[in-house]
């Protein structure tokens, strides 16, 4: 594991998809007027025959993708997360999820990572996609995971929603990191811990930062990275949360229907008597603004995780204050 502030790289998805498509002629790439923004300009330039810009017509794009997949292609559909979930939900249900075809829906700008306000902020995309039978939901945390996830979802014979950060992607994991569609990634676990933090996607850096602070205060912390929200790897997660004093989930998404809900469902069904605090967007549409401003204001910061732990453990001491990381251009740090 690397240390914050993290170095970043550009286009991990676009490069991984192109590399894969060069050896797999069945892969086609569809877009909806956001080619450079979805890193697919390099695919378009290298393999123009298998790249198709459908224009601003996401419903049409999804149904086209469904039919191409029925006919044997592996179709990657690319646009912003809001547009490929909210806008064409019936098409995804009927053309992709129900027939269980090989379409990978790639939605960029998850949660409050877009400065563009509620029209561009996919805060409930995980909930929408989780609700569809046959659909897998993947929310990678860094560029290493993104690269491996592209190969993994292409190998999975069925629909996947892949939720990707746009632009600079942090390098958090070492090169030998293993992404799995089946197993959650246990970063650290203890036989018995004060706190278990479960995080996905862009909240992983905050979860790591919070862990470090909590450990410096003498608490034992288990931390699990869950890039695959559906199917949730309850088999790995449940034994860890069972031995914890409090569970805190952290997701760049509404607290309804995403990672926190998935963990809550698994814990309830297993009868795990441990309090759960969900760090996420609390049933509200946000606004325009920088990531730092939005993550702080809408409850997606390291401080929010620390506050949740303190509340969950009923500690009377002052909550530790999360440090502000200084970054230079090309670096990424948690809020």
Partner 1 sequence: MVAIQGFGYLGQALSSAEIVATMFGGGFVRRGQDKFVMSPGHYVIVLYAVAAELGLLSREELANYGKDAALLEAIGTERTPLFDLVCGSLGQGLSGAVGFALSARLKKSDARTYAFLSDGEMEEGQVWEAAMFAAHNKHRMGQLTVVIDANNSQVDGTVTFVTTIEPLVDKWRSFGWRVEEVDGHDVSALQAAFAKGPAAPEPLVIIARTEILGRMKSIPSTADGHFIKLDKDLERAVLKELEAALA
Active centre residues (catalytic): 58
Distance CA 65, CA 69 (A): 6
Q: CB 71 → partner 1: shortest distance, Å?
A: 4
By the 10 Å C-beta count (0-12 exposed, 13-18 middle, 19+ buried), 144 is classed as: buried
Q: CB 131 → partner 1: shortest distance, Å?
A: 16
Q: Which of 5, 9, 37, 99 binds partner 1 (CB under 8 A)?
A: 99
State yes or no: residue 94 binds partner 1 (CB under 8 A): yes
The helix (H) or strand (E) run that includes residue 15 is helix 12-23
State yes or no: residue 59 binds partner 1 (CB under 8 A): yes
Distance CA 79, CA 332 (A): 23
The nearer residue to partner 1, 20 or 274, going by C-beta atoms, is 20
Q: CB 34 → partner 1: shortest distance, Å?
A: 16
Residue range at the interface with partner 1 (CB under 8 A); choices 64-72, 203-211, 231-239, 259-267: 64-72
Candidates 176, 151, 158; CA nearest to 16 is 151
Distance CA 96, CA 90 (A): 10
Give, in order, the Cα–Cα distances in Å from 243 to each of 74, 107, 187, 312. Answer: 42, 35, 16, 15
Q: CB 46 → partner 1: shortest distance, Å?
A: 16
State yes or no: residue 9 binds partner 1 (CB under 8 A): no
The nearer residue to partner 1, 101 or 208, going by C-beta atoms, is 101
Binding residues with partner 1: total (CB under 8 A) = 26
Distance CA 130, CA 183 (A): 17
State yes or no: residue 74 binds partner 1 (CB under 8 A): no
The nearer residue to partner 1, 70 or 86, going by C-beta atoms, is 70
The structure tokens listed for 112 are 């409050």
Q: Which of 33, 37, 98, 325 binds partner 1 (CB under 8 A)?
A: 98
Give, in order, the Cα–Cα distances in Å from 85 to each of 13, 30, 58, 125, 253. Answer: 19, 15, 9, 6, 14
State yes or no: residue 79 binds partner 1 (CB under 8 A): no
Distance CA 28, CA 102 (A): 11
State yes or no: residue 55 binds partner 1 (CB under 8 A): yes
8 Å CB contact between 93 and 44 = no
Chain residues 15-54 in contact with partner 1, contact rule CB under 8 A: 28, 49-50, 52, 54
State yes or no: residue 64 binds partner 1 (CB under 8 A): yes
Q: CB 49 → partner 1: shortest distance, Å?
A: 7
The structure tokens listed for 310 are 């303190």
State yes or no: residue 256 binds partner 1 (CB under 8 A): no
How far is C-alpha 287 from the chain's CA centre?
Answer: 20
Q: CB 129 → partner 1: shortest distance, Å?
A: 18
The nearer residue to partner 1, 85 or 148, going by C-beta atoms, is 85
The structure tokens listed for 319 are 């909550």
What is the SS3 assignment for 269?
helix
Binding site for partner 1 (CB under 8 A): 28, 49-50, 52, 54-55, 57, 59-60, 62-68, 70-73, 90-91, 94-95, 98-99
């Amino acid at each position: 594991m690397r240390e914050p502030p993290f170095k970043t790289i550009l286009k991990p998805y676009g490069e991984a998809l192109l590399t894969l498509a060069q050896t797999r002629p069945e892969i086609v790439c569809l877009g909806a007027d956001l080619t450079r923004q979805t890193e697919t300009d390099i695919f378009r330039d290298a393999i123009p025959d298998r790249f198709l810009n459908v224009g601003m017509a996401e419903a049409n794009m999804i149904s086209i993708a469904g039919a191409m997949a029925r006919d044997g292609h592996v179709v990657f559909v690319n646009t912003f997360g809001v547009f490929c979930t909210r806008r064409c939900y019936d098409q995804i249900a009927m053309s992709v999820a129900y027939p269980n075809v090989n379409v990978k829906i790639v939605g960029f700008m998850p949660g409050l990572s877009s400065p563009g306000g509620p029209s561009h902020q996919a805060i409930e995309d995980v909930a929408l996609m989780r609700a569809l039978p046959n659909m897998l939901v993947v929310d990678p945390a860094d560029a290493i995971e993104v690269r491996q996830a592209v190969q993994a979802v292409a190998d999975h014979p069925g629909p996947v929603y892949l939720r990707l950060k746009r632009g600079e992607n942090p390098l958090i994991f070492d090169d030998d990191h293993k992404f799995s569609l089946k197993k959650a990634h246990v970063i650290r676990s203890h036989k018995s811990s004060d706190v278990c933090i479960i995080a996905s996607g862009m909240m992983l850096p905050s979860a790591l930062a919070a862990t470090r602070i909590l450990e410096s205060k003498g608490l034992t912390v288990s931390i699990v990275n869950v890039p695959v929200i559906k199917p949730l790897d309850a088999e790995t997660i449940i034994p860890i949360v069972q031995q914890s004093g409090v569970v805190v989930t952290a997701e760049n998404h509404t607290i309804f229907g995403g990672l926190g809900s998935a963990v809550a469902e698994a814990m309830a069904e297993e009868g795990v008597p441990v309090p759960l605090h969900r760090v996420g967007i609390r049933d509200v549409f946000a606004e325009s603004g920088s990531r730092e401003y939005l993550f702080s204001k809408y409850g997606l910061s390291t401080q929010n995780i620390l506050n949740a732990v303190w509340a969950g453990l009923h500690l009377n001491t002052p909550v530790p204050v999360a440090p502000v990381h200084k970054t230079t251009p090309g670096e990424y740090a948690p809020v």
